[in-house]
Structure 1
Amino acid sequence: MKKKSFLNWKEGRRLRGIDLHCKGWKQTAIADALGVSKVAVNQWIRKCRSEGRKALQSKPKPGAPSRLSVEKKYQILELLYPGAEAWGFVGDIWTCSRIGNVIERQFGISYHRHHIAKIMKELNCTSHKPRVRALQRNEKAIQNWKRYKWPAIKKSKIRRALGTQS
């Protein structure tokens, strides 16, 4: 649904570029006005001359239609909200495999985990890896090392690179 309106917008921009060209605008001015490159405008004009205005119309990408409707895709977000443990997984981290499992349980549709990542990106959800830190981590010691020891190490490396020792 979103892609179709996006394609129509791009198509409208191309057709507007041709209209401006027919009114005598220069390619550079058209490119500036429409926020595209001069090369793009040149390609539109060339394509329009050789194949007509119809060649500038949007063509949907080939492929099977999505098995999940837009509504169901947004339902996925609601299903994931309670957390992974609410769905019986150990650890409250969502992976593509786990999300695929939930989709299959809820809607009876199975997807490969790589495709789950595409669906989540379409829903503006990005993957984040949790930071793994040792339980014995001593923040004060780390800050001390960064503040005093690391600069000394850095200075000695610079001196060695310059060939001076002190």
Structure 2
Amino acid sequence: MEAGPAACGWSDQCWTLARIAEIVRRRFGVDYTLAGLDLLLHRIGWSVQAPTRKATERDESKIAAWKDEQWPVIKRGRRTWAPGSASRTRQARV
């Protein structure tokens, strides 16, 4: 499995439980349910991982500018207390 799905005859680089079950069936002659195979893989230290995907329209300079300008404002958050309102859920704006 470490060689990747292409080494086993699949065109893309994505393992699925069904593909792994097929490899186990071919190599060892053992049938596992997908749930059973999932438990077995977790037991031996394998975990589910999704491939990272980035949009083709992605503009790194705009992302960096947004992180520098907008993220600190969002991160700061809102005040936890504001005078002039008896309601904790609807605070007065100052």
**If the length of structure 1 is used for normalisation, what is the TM-score?**
0.43
2:17 to 88, 91, 96: 96
Residue 130 of structure 1 aligns with which residue? 51
* Deviation for aligned residue 1:151: 3.6
Using the alignment, how far apart are the partners of 1:111 and 1:163 within structure 2? 60
Deviations 1:81-112 (A, max 9, x none): 21101111121121211110101111121111
Using the alignment, how far apart are the partners of 1:131 and 1:99 within structure 2? 21
Residue 163 of structure 1 aligns with which residue? 93
Using the alignment, how far apart are the partners of 1:138 and 1:98 within structure 2? 36
**Structure possessing the higher relative contact order (Cα contacts under 8 Å, 6 or more residues apart):** 1
**If the length of structure 2 is used for normalisation, what is the TM-score?**
0.72
Q: CA RMSD in A?
A: 2.2
Aligned length: 82
Bigger helix fraction: 1
What are structure 1's unaligned runs of at least 5 residues? 1-79
* The structure with more radius of gyration: 1
